[in-house]
Amino acid sequence: MDELLLSKVRLGVVAELLNYEWVAFTELARALDVSNGNLGAHIGKLVEAGYVDEEKSFVNRRPLTRYRLTKRGRDAFTGHVLQLEAILKAAR
């Protein structure tokens, strides 16, 4: 199994990004109902692993950080979900 995606928050981040070209940090925190600090730590690991790309900019002098899923992240997510399904199948 993918060690990084064993965390529910990190798996949630990747699932949130799956159907989107990009999603802002604040939007991810709202959707996943996690604190900014907690989310920042988890996303940092995903960025470091190359699963997620980070883009920082300023809109009306306020910082905007947004994320997009990389091919590596998408492949890792697919493999991880397949393994989760295999665990469920084996348990039946």
Partner 1 sequence: MDSSEARDHIEMVDRILAESHQRLCSGGEYFVVWGIGSALVTVLFQLVNGGTVPLPALWLVPAVLAACAIFSLIRGGVNQRVLRRSSLVQREFFNVLWLTLGLALIVNLAVFRIFTGTASAAIWSVAEAIVLLYIGMHGNRRAQIAGVLVVVSLIAANFSPPNVTGYVLAAGMLAGYAGFGVSELLARD
Asked if 53 interacts with partner 1 (CB under 8 A), we say: no
Provide the minimum distance between the beta carbon of 37 and partner 1 in the complex, in angstroms, as a whole number. Answer: 19
Provide the minimum distance between the beta carbon of 71 and partner 1 in the complex, in angstroms, as a whole number. Answer: 13
Buried b (16+ CB within 10 A) or exposed e, 20-58: eeebebeebbeebebeeeebeebbebbeebebbeeeeee
Give the Cα separation of 13 and 42 in Å (integer).
9
Binding segment toward partner 1, per CB under 8 A, in 33-41, 42-50, 78-86: 78-86
- Read off the amino acid at residue 26: T
**Contact positions vs partner 1 (CB under 8 A):** 1, 6, 8, 11-12, 15-16, 18-24, 26-27, 31, 57, 59, 64, 81, 84-85, 87-88, 90-91
